[in-house]
Structures are given as C-alpha cells and as structure tokens.
Structure 1
Amino acid sequence: MVLQGTLVNTIAIIFGGMIGAFLPNIPLKMRDTVMQGLGLAVIIQGILMGLKTENFLLVILSLVLGGVLGEILKIDDKLDQLGHWLERKLGGSKKGNISNAFVTATLVYTIGAMAILGSLNSGLNLDHRLLYLKAMLDGFSAIIFASTLGFGVVFSAVPVLIYQGMIALLAKYIHLLFSQELLDTMIVEITATGGILIIAIAINILELKKINVANMLPAIIIAPIGVILVQWISKLF
C-alpha cells in the first residue's frame, strides 16, 4: 500500500506524543544516546540506497548541480522563514501551550529532506523502509517534545499524514508519463542520490557537521532529468 509508510510514521508520532505527555523531562544523556543510535542506523540506510546507482557520475553531477541550484534559490533559508511565519501565525511563541507544541513538532516532522525522500520512495517503488526509520526518529522525538512542550505534539501527526501522503500518491502516478524501463532507471538514480542526502541527514543527527541538506534537494529532480538526457544522447550516437 502506497501510504503504509506514512501511516506508520503518523501512528508513531501519535503514540510518542501520548507517552511523552505523561512523562517528566527526559534526561539529556538518554536522549542523545538514543538519537545517536538512530543516526547510525540512518547512515547504513543511506549507504544501501547510494550503492544502488548504475551511473555514479550522474549522481555526482546531480548533487553538484542540485546544490548550486539550492544555494541560488536559498531553499534552506526559505524553509526557515516558513517556520518562523507559521510560528507567528499560529501563536507558537509561548512555551508549553498547544500551538507552540503543534508548530514546533510539525516543522521538525515535515520540513526536511527525509519526509520528501521517504514519501517519494514509498510512492515510486513501495519501499517504506526510509519512512519506517523516520517513524522511529519522529516517535522518539515526539516523546521528548511532548514531555517538555505538552500534548499539542500529537496534533502534528495530521499535517504529516497529509503532506507525506500527497507526495507518495503523486509519485505513484509518475509511471503514466514514462516507459517502465526508463522509470526503473530513474528510480534507481533517484534512490542513490537520495541515499547520499540521507547520509547527510544522519551527519546532522549525530551533530558531526551542519549540512544544509534542504539546499541539495534539487538533486532529486536533476537525477531523473539526467537519466532522460543520457538515454536521449545514447540514441543519437
């Protein structure tokens, strides 16, 4: 089922938020240890995805051009501005109230590369493993958020369901535009490019270095375009 990964992610947030709402503040050391373990697991997932490529040069070019485009468009800055705008509109300035908990959790769970990549993976080839990993991350962070911000974290599951569900459903019907052979190749390179971005997300989780993953998201679009160009050029020669 296309929405299976998104549903698991949604349920994890709901249960995590409900558990956290009845727990006192969780020790920082415990939180860091668990997040580090999950970060290492995300690295392995990214490596497995990255190794699927059949044209590593294309992946490199996609990342380079995608990064340049992302920096020009300032995607990371715009997402940050969107987050601040939502906080102002929904009144998320008072620590501990429902709107603050809702806005904070929603931004963490939806505005990020893993939400987009996981949903695309679910829609394109019914591979939900990335969203399962995200569900683990979101579920645990929901416990943390709810223990400090309150029950409003649970309501963030709704925009996650809508946002990721829409991406997955739209991705499912992309096969109507391309032949199955071309689509299979596109999926392979999208997966490989996404895998490298997933490794970058894991590096952020482990706090090894801050990487602006959002600015690299155009690489996910450039990779399939590159596949089409490669096939077109190969037919000419």
Structure 2
Amino acid sequence: MNMPVGTIANALAIVAGSLLGLMMHGRFPESVKRIVFQGLGLSVLIIGLQMALKMDRPLVVVFSLVLGGIAGELLRIEERLESLGGVLKRVTRSSNAMFTDGFISATLIYCVGSMAILGSLDEGLRGDPTILLTKATLDGFASIPLASTYGVGVMFSAAPVFLYQGCIALGAGALRGVVTPDLLTQITATGGLLIFGIGVNLLGFAQIRVGNLLPALLAAALLSFAPI
C-alpha cells in the first residue's frame, strides 16, 4: 500500500495540538487549570457514554470487560505503560509529575474507538484517509487542553497512535473479511466504557486501571462471533 497519509496526519496533529497546549500551560492560574481539567473530564465522560450507548449485546460487553480485565491484570499492562512513560520521562529529562499520566490517558483516548480501527482499515483497503483525517482534526484539538493540563507526556502519545493505526492499515488486507459491522459495534461499546473510565479517573471519582482493561477490546472482537 501507499504511505498511510491519514495515520501520519493524525500523529502530526497530536504533536501540533500538544505544542499549542504546552505554550498555554504556564499562562493560566491554578484555578483556571483546575476548571479546564474538570471540563475535560466531563467531556471524556460524555464521549465514552455516547459510545457505550451503542451497546446492543450487553453480555458481550460484560464478558469482554471481565475476561479483558483478568488478562490485563495478569499481563500487567498498566504497569508496563507506566514503565514506558517513565522511560520517556527520563529520556526527555522532564520534571513534570503528570508526564506518565498524560502519556497513558492520551494514548488510551486516541487509540480506543471505532474511528481508529475503521479509518485505518479504510485507508489500508481503499487508500481513503478521510476518516483518519477527521480523527486527526479531533485529536489535534483534544491535545490542546490535554497538554495544557498534563504537559509534554501527551505529545508522546503520537508514537503509539502512529504504530497502532499504521499496523492496522498495513494488515488491512488480511482483516478484510473479519471486520463486520457487529464487531465494530461491540468494540465501540466496550471502548466507550473504557473512555468513560478515563473520565472517572480525570474527575477523581475513583482510580480505574483502564490500561489493564485494554484486552477487553480484543475479547469484544472475538465474542462478537459468539451466540450470546
């Protein structure tokens, strides 16, 4: 296939939005940062809820979260993401205490969702980057408040987004007959609950280990073929 234009644009938009957010980072008093943080948390909650409400097979979502959570805990995904964030923080010599939180939260927000999967497949199969270019615009704007709140860690989420979407685009041919509308619906609903969990974390209601729930997306894809 040709160069994945949409994926590249998506990564660059995250970097550009993050840089703009970093420029704004030190220009506001703590009260303004706090209200921006709360507004961001509420927005993420609503986005996640909107996705989750697409649920039409509740048992698939429930079993996906349970099985995915068990797998994630055993694989210690959250700890590995934190370790990767720590490595990036040391390499960049950042002193920002929220570097790792920003990296993990932004990566999950940008990678979890049907647009990342469907857009990458569309570009890989038909060479059409329209969906990913739309996603790039959304992610770029979302990076501004995220980076202004969390700092430079948000910008580094562009790397996993590039790798994740690029791999799907490159492997799109093999996935052509596998990805069905029902599969995307189950992934979207399950992913919506994960994003809702990120919103809960942002607002401080609880501390959900969303990273360890990531295998739920794979479980949702597999269980979408089960008669439940």
Q: TM-score range by the shorter chain?
A: 0.7 to 0.9
| Contact 1:13-1:139 at 8 Å conserved across structures | no
Q: Which moved more, 1:25-34 or 1:206-215?
A: 25-34
Which residue of structure 2 lines up, in the alignment, with residue 75 of structure 1? 77
Is the alpha carbon distance of 1:81 and 1:169 closer, same or farther for their aligned partners in structure 2, counting shifts above 3 Å? Answer: same
AA at the equivalent of 2:93: G
Residue 229 of structure 1 aligns to which amino acid in structure 2?
Answer: A
Partner of residue 213, structure 1 = 210
- Once the 2 structures are TM-superposed, how far is the Cα of residue 177 of structure 1 from its aligned partner? 3.8
Q: 1:58-207, aligned counterparts within 5 Å?
A: 58-88=60-90, 90-92=91-93, 95=95, 104=99, 108=103, 112-118=107-113, 119-120=116-117, 122-123=119-120, 134-144=139-149, 156=156, 159=159, 162-163=162-163, 165-167=165-167, 169-170=169-170, 172-173=172-173, 175-178=175-178, 183-207=180-204
Q: Aligned-pair RMSD on alpha carbons?
A: 3.7
Counterpart residue identity of residue 202, structure 1: G
d(CA) in 1 for partners of 2:18, 2:41: 18
Q: How many residues are paired up?
A: 215
CA distance in 2, matches of 1:114, 1:15: 15
CA distance in structure 1 between the aligned counterparts of 2:24 and 2:144, rounded to whole angstroms: 15
Q: How far apart are the structure 2 equivalents of 1:154 and 1:81? A: 15
Change (3 A) 1:82 1:193: same
Task: Give 1:30's aligned residue.
Answer: 32
Tell me the residue number matched to 1:234. Answer: none
Tell me, in whole angstroms, the C-alpha distance in 1 between the residues paired with 2:62 and 2:9. Answer: 33
Of residues 47, 50, 63, the one that matches 1:48 is: 50
How far, CA to CA, are the matches of 2:59 and 2:141 in structure 1?
33
Rg (Cα) greater in structure: 1
Which has the higher mean CA deviation after the structures are superposed, 21-30 or 154-163? 154-163
Letter in 2 for 1:45: I
SS at match of 1:34: helix
Q: CA shift at 1:109, angstroms?
A: 6.4
SS of the residue 1:208 aligns to? coil
Q: Is the 8 A contact 2:40 2:145 kept in 1?
A: no
Partner of 2:13: 11
For structure 1, which segment, 44-53 or 13-22, has the greater mean C-alpha deviation from structure 2 after superposition? 13-22
Distance 1:207 1:171 in 2: 38
Q: Please, what TM-score do these two structures have when normalized by structure 1?
A: 0.71
Paired AA for residue 227 in structure 1:
S
Q: Which moved more, 1:167-176 or 1:208-217?
A: 167-176
Give the Å deviation of 1:122: 3.5
**Does the residue aligned with 1:211 lie in a helix, a strand or coil?**
coil
Deviations along 1:114-168, one digit per CA (max 9) or x if unpaired, are 232142353357766876654443212334566xx7xxx8974863663354255
Q: Which runs of 5 or more residues in structure 2 are unaligned?
A: 123-129
Distance in 2, Cα, partners of 1:154 & 1:113: 11
Distance in 2, Cα, partners of 1:46 & 1:63: 15
Deviations 1:171-218 (A, max 9, x none): 75464242xxx6111111011111111100111121211110000000
Contact 1:42/1:133, CA 8 A, preserved across alignment: no
Decide which moves more: 127-136 or 51-60: 127-136
Letter in 2 for 1:225: L
